[in-house]
Structure 1
């Protein structure tokens, strides 16, 4: 008879396989580990200590239990339940391929259907207010915060991708920053008057599963980054103490000169949202959604937006086309004299 520890031990082998062979991100692996911990507790209450003892009924009833919270944990949304089932199904598929079982008992178990929700985006005017609010703090912090928000909106990057940037990930900032043709500290209301630069600035992003992509950087974000790197970041570097975690060439720094964390970046956006009367409506992912929505509304091809967002599958990106279709319907209903 196998040891009672065999089930979590084999799960650890699967997670190691995902990390080494598949290159999944640390955040995804932590989520899967939490999901499998809850799965283990559910199976343990049923006396299952080995993967070979698990039945399809066990898996089906686990899905129902976590959806309703009847296993003693918090009830999960349909999307979180689907993620947990993805972890369970991946593990059982791994067990079959490794010869630990003769049947994949989770293969035919379906996740609960989730209502299709449109991504939340804010308007261009609200983006303007947010950026101005972020840069309203005097000194290096205001320069940093404006550059952070400008970069998130200009690239559609995830917050983890932006706080992980190093200086060498940025290219041709100075050329593109000159496109704005505006004096220091001026707003965005006027059109860009300068002739296009030969090269558009670019940022090198490392996304989920360490997948890399190059995203163009517009003139406003390039100018904000250039201002921050020249006048803001050196002041933050100077504030570094011997106890500060080494930042190396990390672009975005905290007030102690160390790397800015994801949590601190969230706080930057929350403060700016409060100042711009957008409390509770804007987070880092809202900027990503707004980036995609505004591109599609401007006529960008969905495949181009897919590449810019770093989506592996275009179907993930296509949900944004529903947003623009809804926008078209609203515009038509409001503007056409015989729409209603």
Structure 2
């Protein structure tokens, strides 16, 4: 096993155990860093010899190949975390990542599905196990504002039918309770009574949502469920669009920003404030279209 592979394995354990990163985030980090290792070999060096020139060359090549500003910003952030880790471990005498200029990404406004479109999609009937699951997935994502990974991690007991709440495991293992409306609870109840038993196996465990082979539903399959159910209303809607939409509709309905921050599980209020821009944009458009003196 090469020294670079050992270093990446150690870093992977650090991300999982000490930083509490999700499996998806860990895979993304390691994918970026393996690309860095390949580039460093072109400089006849390995991770122990990486300096700021190597890092800047690696990022410059990606920019020349058409990488977006958001992608470059993410990879710059990954490199900084990684080189800081190597410096603390004594692998690097200095931290070259600290010398990288900040690559700011342009933050686009999230996609918001109208209340009417969500309502139309969720008024469709469901009969088969697949239809029951798809409807329940869409209802619960929209009702709870959950990330798709949080939805897939749900167990049956994480939904409290009496209190109308869901217990979600967020980033870094942080747990939060969110309210869930009656329509979503009814859709989940229909799935658990009429759909889930068709696919449940002795080793299925407590997972709320199952695949057709009895395994816990994965994020990729959940995304397919959303696409398939929402495409009945034309256009492609992703799970995160439902999360964006739920947050925006809450603000449009008068919810305060702090409550929406807790609902979404954001660490920083700054992450939530983007939804105020969405609401203002929609309000401005409606004003221009409807106000007699606009």
Fold match (TM-score > 0.5): yes
1:221-257 deviation line (CA, Å, top 9, x unaligned): 11212222233322333xx4x8xxx311211122333
**Alignment equivalent of 2:58, drawn from 46, 52, 62:** 62
- The answer to whether the aligner puts 1:125 opposite 2:112 as a matched pair is no
Match of 1:165 in 2: 154
> Structure 2 CA distance, aligned partners of 1:143 and 1:95?
49
Per the TM alignment, residue 111 of structure 1 is displaced from its structure 2 partner at its CA by 4.2
Any idea what SS the aligned residue of 2:273 has? helix
Match of 1:141 in 2: 130
Match of 1:197 in 2: none
Shift in CA distance, 8/234, structure 1 to aligned 2, threshold 3 Å:
closer
- The answer to whether the aligner puts 1:272 opposite 2:269 as a matched pair is no
Shift in CA distance, 5/111, structure 1 to aligned 2, threshold 3 Å:
farther
Per the TM alignment, residue 76 of structure 1 is displaced from its structure 2 partner at its CA by 2.5
The gaps in structure 2 that reach 5 residues or longer are: none
Matches within 5 A, 1:42-121: 42-51=39-48, 53-69=49-65, 75-121=66-112
Q: Say if 1:156 and 1:291, in contact at 8 Å, map to a contact too.
A: yes
More helix by share: 2
> Structure 1 CA distance, aligned partners of 2:266 and 2:114?
23
Between the two proteins, the alignment pairs up a number of residues equal to 294
Shift in CA distance, 7/111, structure 1 to aligned 2, threshold 3 Å:
farther
> Structure 1 CA distance, aligned partners of 2:136 and 2:47?
52
Match of 1:194 in 2: none
1:142-185 deviation line (CA, Å, top 9, x unaligned): 322221111000001111211221111111x1x4xxxxxxxxxx
Match of 1:247 in 2: 204
Any idea what SS the aligned residue of 2:165 has? strand
> Structure 2 CA distance, aligned partners of 1:142 and 1:132?
13
Q: Say if 1:63 and 1:111, in contact at 8 Å, map to a contact too.
A: no
The gaps in structure 1 that reach 5 residues or longer are: 70-74, 176-199
Match of 1:317 in 2: 272
Shift in CA distance, 141/7, structure 1 to aligned 2, threshold 3 Å:
closer
> Structure 1 CA distance, aligned partners of 2:190 and 2:4?
54
1:76-131 deviation line (CA, Å, top 9, x unaligned): 22222222222211111112222333321111313433223100011001101222
- Which stretch has the larger CA shift, 249-258 or 20-29? 249-258
Match of 1:285 in 2: 240
Per the TM alignment, residue 211 of structure 1 is displaced from its structure 2 partner at its CA by 1.6
Match of 1:205 in 2: 168
Q: Say if 1:5 and 1:49, in contact at 8 Å, map to a contact too.
A: no
> Structure 2 CA distance, aligned partners of 1:220 and 1:7?
52
Shift in CA distance, 144/49, structure 1 to aligned 2, threshold 3 Å:
closer
Per the TM alignment, residue 336 of structure 1 is displaced from its structure 2 partner at its CA by 2.5
> Structure 2 CA distance, aligned partners of 1:141 and 1:12?
39
Match of 1:155 in 2: 144
**Alignment equivalent of 2:177, drawn from 201, 204, 214:** 214
Match of 1:10 in 2: 7
Q: Based on CA coordinates, which of the two structures has the bigger radius of gyration?
A: 1
Per the TM alignment, residue 6 of structure 1 is displaced from its structure 2 partner at its CA by 3.2
> Structure 1 CA distance, aligned partners of 2:74 and 2:198?
43
Match of 2:289 in 1: 334
TM-score, length-normalised on structure 2?
Answer: 0.93
